[in-house]
Structure 1
Amino acid sequence: MEAFIEKFSRKYNLPAADCLRLIGLMERRVFCKGECVVRQGERNSDFYVVSRGIWLGHYLDDGADVSVWFAGEGEALFSTWGYVGNEVSKISIEAMCDAELYGISKADLEAFFARSAGAANFGRRLFEEQFLALENWMLSGGAPRAEERYRTLMEESPELLQYVPLKHIASYLWITPQSLSRIRAKLGKKKG
């Protein structure tokens, strides 16, 4: 079994056999650094699993580039607005490096979920984990805990530093790039 499928199964607490069945229905898609699955203001209702690379969900707000989430190998990504409401996306989903996804249309994914109670439960658990991750991110906000959030992010996804500009990491942590530099310098001194 490929590593990304094992990570997908483990991250979303899903049976590996179900993950393999789903991936078998999906189409492999390759992207270059900077390409988007969807741009803010466009529609895309497809669902994806990252097989290689780092992805950033972000949006522009009065000229400020706001980072919302990152997705790496074995994680799901999609435009919530496109998938749920067939509306234009409020975020852009951009490859931070050369990347690869497996994608499936909403209609085909829903047909997969409708095949059995097991497949429907698979879908329910998948989306529950997505909602839990979102809520955890929302609750972790606030500058007083920025150092803790940075350490946790680096423990969970150290590869972000290789591919993601620090301005996006700072935005995701709800701090300025200058604050992130101070945190990184402080942590660097503790190691030395």
Structure 2
Amino acid sequence: MTATFEQTRRQASTLTTVITILALLLGWGLKMYVEGQTRPVSVRGITAEVPAGWIVRENDPASGVTPSDDPFQMDHPDSGTSPNLVFTAWNPLHPERHYSVSLYPGGENTTFPATASVRTLNRGSTLKLYRILEETPILVNGRDGYKVTFAYVDPGDASEVPTVLQGVDYYFAEGEQTFVVTLEVDNGTPADHLTTFLQFVETVEIGE
């Protein structure tokens, strides 16, 4: 009787373990599937594929619209101050990481360091303690580009603790224009998010 009970208990324990493992694998597979889904966006001649479920905010400095207090309408440091910013995208469940795309004149008629200098000057005049950490030429999926890593401080409101943001810009030339794809992370490092960011970078193009 005791042996039969013990055998039944072990079988139930094994079955519970198997079901738990299957549930975890199913959850992981569903998570990977959802995170791999994208949707197309097209803003001011820029096309890209952003992760499904992410919020996309178009930047139109000429509209004079004040950024919303809605948490799903995150204010970007460049919003309303930079006519070069095209759009910003972020996960509303994890707003500490966001992507953005900016557009500058020049393209193949100028150099990446020259465009980076203009961007640094503009951002340095509007962002607190904006600093360049590294600049280097890059090659992404056969496309020549330029990589700039940076950091700055977002002081926030008077009641908030200042936040240190780190980020990376990827510069690419297309005709007479240069587009900059940016990853920014609050209180973290861009290196932790580069794999998914590069997937996004490869989808960004200047439309016809």
Larger Rg over CA atoms: 2
Task: State the TM-score bracket (shorter-chain normalisation).
Answer: under 0.3
TM-score relative to the length of structure 2: 0.25
Instruction: Point out the structure with the larger helix share.
Output: 1
Higher RCO (C-alpha under 8 Å, 6+ residues apart): 1
Q: Which has the higher strand share?
A: 2
